[in-house]
Chains A and B, each alone.
Chain A
Amino acid sequence: MLIENPLNSSIYAFPVLECFHIVGFTLSVGTIALVDLRLLGIGMNHQTPAELADDMRFWTMGGLTLMLVSGLLLFSSDPDMYYLNMAFVLKMVFLVTGIIFNYTLRQKAVLPGASPGLGKLAACISLFLWSGVLFGGIYIGFIMEGLSFSNL
């Protein structure tokens, strides 16, 4: 390699970045989940889903930014390994689907006139997609340690 990634020259860089990654996903997935739970009738029911989504928008976006920036940096520490890691690939599929879903169909599902049934469906899909992202993130480390999906 011509240029050493500065991230790999300190043993603390990766764990510290991971902590930022955790804060980022807590903010983004946490605020998305609050709206999903509201669509399901759990939690912040004194606001309409539209009002709640509006309150959360800035924090979801901020959390996503922190999560993506720290995630890209984590990825850059060992790109080939991640590329070959099945859990990582699945995580990316869930992540891209989750982000697109969040800013298209679910955005429509929280609008005032939207049908509550569709809202509940959108909430379940959203929670499923983001759980997939988190499961993928955890399984990356276990696949690195030798876990294989082939005997599932």
Chain B
Amino acid sequence: MLLSLALWIQATAFFTYLRGSTYSYPSILSLHMVFLACFGGMIVMTDLRLLGFAMRKRSAADVIEQLRIPKRIGLLFMVTLGFLLFACKAEEYYYNIFFRLKLIFLTLVFLHLLLFRRGVLDEVPQLDTTKRLPGRVRLTAYLSLLLWTGVAICGRGIGYIEVPWGIHAKLPDSILALRAFYR
């Protein structure tokens, strides 16, 4: 089901063109890196502020508030560019263990936001006068750093997995037929 979706998307005219074009894939990947630096930098600095390591002269709530919109825009670009990269080679990515792990980490990031946003991050303004933010706020920041580092490491890992195309010889006929159909 997911595999046939992957086969379909990479067979669309647009992604067939992108895959065949010499400079598209590396250029999209490079842009993904540019946004990684900008967007990742914002996340890291927010977390470092919550931990009390960076921007101590500024209020933590103010740092979170100012970066909220830029971070959303950054995420939008990251996801869009990431999707383009995925869809060019959807079948390879489907089998790629690091791609699967990356999706798991991204799911955990989303859960992290759901769990900690209302309970912890929204109360930062009231806590800001304290010299050191409470343990639960710092835990949230540590978890965020950990999960996003996981996303980045898995992203790098994707490139290291050579899909052993030979395994397709052992795939069930139904999947081989699907591949042939979408080619």
Contact A55 B156, beta carbon cutoff 8 Å: no
- Known contacts being A25-B37, A33-B38, A43-B70, is A15 close to B157, with CB within 8 Å? yes
List the B side residues contacting A51 at CB < 8 Å. 57
Q: Which of B40, B54, B58, B157 is the one whose CB lies under 8 Å from A47?
A: B58
A27 located at the interface, meaning its Cβ lies under 8 Å from any Cβ of chain B in the complex: yes
Contact B58 A55, beta carbon cutoff 8 Å: yes
- Known contacts being A43-B67, A59-B45, is A134 close to B37, with CB within 8 Å? yes
Question: Which of B25-33, B134-142, B165-173 participates in binding chain A?
Answer: B25-33
B160 located at the interface, meaning its Cβ lies under 8 Å from any Cβ of chain A in the complex: yes
B126 located at the interface, meaning its Cβ lies under 8 Å from any Cβ of chain A in the complex: no
B41 located at the interface, meaning its Cβ lies under 8 Å from any Cβ of chain A in the complex: yes
Q: Give Cα A33 to B33, complex, Å.
A: 13
B55 located at the interface, meaning its Cβ lies under 8 Å from any Cβ of chain A in the complex: yes
Contact A15 B160, beta carbon cutoff 8 Å: yes
- Known contacts being A22-B156, A147-B22, is A139 close to B45, with CB within 8 Å? no
Contact A26 B152, beta carbon cutoff 8 Å: yes
Chain A stretch 21-70: residues in CB contact (< 8 A) with chain B: 22-23, 25-27, 29-31, 33-34, 37, 42-47, 51, 55-56, 58-59
Query: Which DSSP category, helix, strand, loop or mixed, fits chain B's interface?
Result: helix
- Known contacts being A25-B37, A43-B67, A135-B30, is A19 close to B42, with CB within 8 Å? no
Nearest B-chain residue to A137, judged by Cβ: B33
Interface string of A94-138 (1 = CB under 8 A from B): 000000000000000000000000000000000000110011011
Range, interface on chain A: 35 or more
B103 located at the interface, meaning its Cβ lies under 8 Å from any Cβ of chain A in the complex: no
Interface string of B12-43 (1 = CB under 8 A from A): 00000000001001110110011011111110
Most buried by A among B37, B40, B152: B37
B122 located at the interface, meaning its Cβ lies under 8 Å from any Cβ of chain A in the complex: no
Nearest B-chain residue to A34, judged by Cβ: B41
B113 located at the interface, meaning its Cβ lies under 8 Å from any Cβ of chain A in the complex: no
Q: What 17 additional pairs, Cβ within 8 angstroms, besides A30-B38, A46-B62?
A: A15-B160, A18-B156, A22-B153, A26-B41, A29-B41, A30-B42, A43-B66, A44-B67, A47-B58, A56-B45, A58-B54, A131-B34, A134-B30, A134-B33, A134-B34, A139-B26, A139-B30
- Point out residues on A near B: beta carbons under 8 Å: 15, 18-19, 22-23, 25-27, 29-31, 33-34, 37, 42-47, 51, 55-56, 58-59, 130-131, 134-135, 137-139, 141-142, 147
